[in-house]
Structure 1
Amino acid sequence: MSLGRHAKTASDLAILREDARREGKRYGFEDVLLLSGVVSTSSARKDYDDCTAKYGRYGVPIYLVVDPYAQEVALHAQPTATDYIAAHTHKYGTGKLFIPLADGRTFTLALDELPRPQPESDAR
């Protein structure tokens, strides 16, 4: 995904407009309706802070942070020049989250079916 002239990004999930067109090997940020990142032990700061600021700045309408460790999903909407105005947290196991997209479609996330981290086994 291209975020302007020099910035590029690779999110874990991207939902694009149905009429999106590639720019070379990538799609432009203008075609993005939703981006999502899944937190790993090494990416928490990037997913929560860096990407939230970056995607807000580029006007990505919805950014989801899926955190299997906290067992929650943070939905960020209404982008600004530095962040998002609205942020809502939804816990795993609470049914379905219906997210209206700017093109009239609805993205449904089944919060009951999200993966949880596996407990580490004792090495003996």
Structure 2
Amino acid sequence: MSVHSIMDTDFPKGYAVLFGVDGKMIMIPRSEECSGTIRSMQIDSLALGRHAKVTSDVYIDFPGDEHSAPGLAILRDDARKVSRRYSFEDVLLISEVVSTSSARKDYNDCTTKYGRYGIPIYLVVDPYAGEVVLHTEPTAIGYSTALKRAYGTGKLPIPLADGRTFTLDLDELPRPEPETDAH
């Protein structure tokens, strides 16, 4: 796709469009709930330090052709980019925020993929179900441990492999607003 054709394309509203250096384009559905949830997690990540390596919607290299741009990733402090990207080997935690169109991918496909590649912690944050699922102990087919916590149940401390703790405030995660009929 040429630069001119990209500039002249009307991409659907509500999608983030990411372009990889390998020429691939990824369209990620975005909602206010998704955006607000990622922002809330970013705020919670500030406790890790102002210069902690925390990314949102940034490509991470996985073996083969399985790149990902997770909603939030916490990386080792000594992580270094190789060919303009971080490696999956630098990841301490990945979190995906469920949208109405990504539930199957976030709950199933990503759980399998991130476990298979040994991502120590995979956190699924679901504003529609009002819950988070914390996956730990990666295996070749996913994770052997999954802990569910509901929104509004306080703080969830998540120990990272480097000795720091990421604490997710479940009381502050945004919930979808009820739909109203416009008359």
Interval containing the TM-score (normalised by the shorter chain): over 0.9
Partner in structure 1 of residue 87 of structure 2:
28
RMSD: 0.7
User: How do 1:106-121 and structure 2 match up within 5 A?
Assistant: 106-121=165-180
Question: 1:6 Cα deviation (Å)?
Answer: 2.0
Partner in structure 1 of residue 158 of structure 2:
99
CA–CA separation in structure 2 for the residues paired with 1:7 and 1:39: 20
Match of 2:181, SS state, is: coil
1:79 aligns with 2:143: no
CA deviation profile, 1:22-73 (whole Å, cap 9, x unmatched): 0112100110000000000000000000000000000000000000011000
List runs of 5+ in structure 2 lacking aligned partners. 1-59
Partner in structure 2 of residue 7 of structure 1:
66
**4+ runs of 1 displaced by more than 3 Å?**
none
TM-score w.r.t. structure 2 length?
0.67
Question: 1:123 Cα deviation (Å)?
Answer: 2.5
Partner in structure 2 of residue 54 of structure 1:
113
Pick the structure with more helix per residue.
2
Pick the structure with more strand per residue.
1
Q: How many residues align?
A: 124
List runs of 5+ in structure 1 lacking aligned partners. none
